[in-house]
Amino acid sequence: MFVTVRKDFAFLNSAAGMPIVLRMADKHYRSLIKALSWRFTGSLDTLIISFLITGRLKWALTISGVELFTKIGLYYAHERVWEKLPFGRVQETARGKTNFEI
């Protein structure tokens, strides 16, 4: 048996030679880690912009510190809502082709 992994699906070849398709979903901790890494990047950007606008490092650190925590929560909630929505998703067949026509 061999496994081929794609972004949202794992394709297994069974002993009978028939492909088995398993849908893969993100775990909650993956969304949290993505939120943290994105917020670090975003907060660094906010820190630099805030400093350039205010000219005060203390203000820039305060602004970026506050938005770090508020936006982590917002991003996590946003990510989990989008995980539930079928919008923009198509089911792949065992051969990796999408199951739709244009």
More reliable by pLDDT, 22 or 36: 36
Q: State pLDDT tens for residues 28-85.
A: 888 888 878 888 899 999 999 999 999 999 999 999 999 888 887 888 899 889 888 8
More reliable by pLDDT, 86 or 51: 51
pTM (2 d.p.): 0.51
Task: Answer whether 43's CB lies under 8 Å from 57's CB.
Answer: no
Return phi, psi of residue 10, to 5°. Answer: -120, 135
Kindly report the CA angle at 77 between 72 and 78, in degrees rounded to 5?
95
Task: Answer whether 19's CB lies under 8 Å from 29's CB.
Answer: no
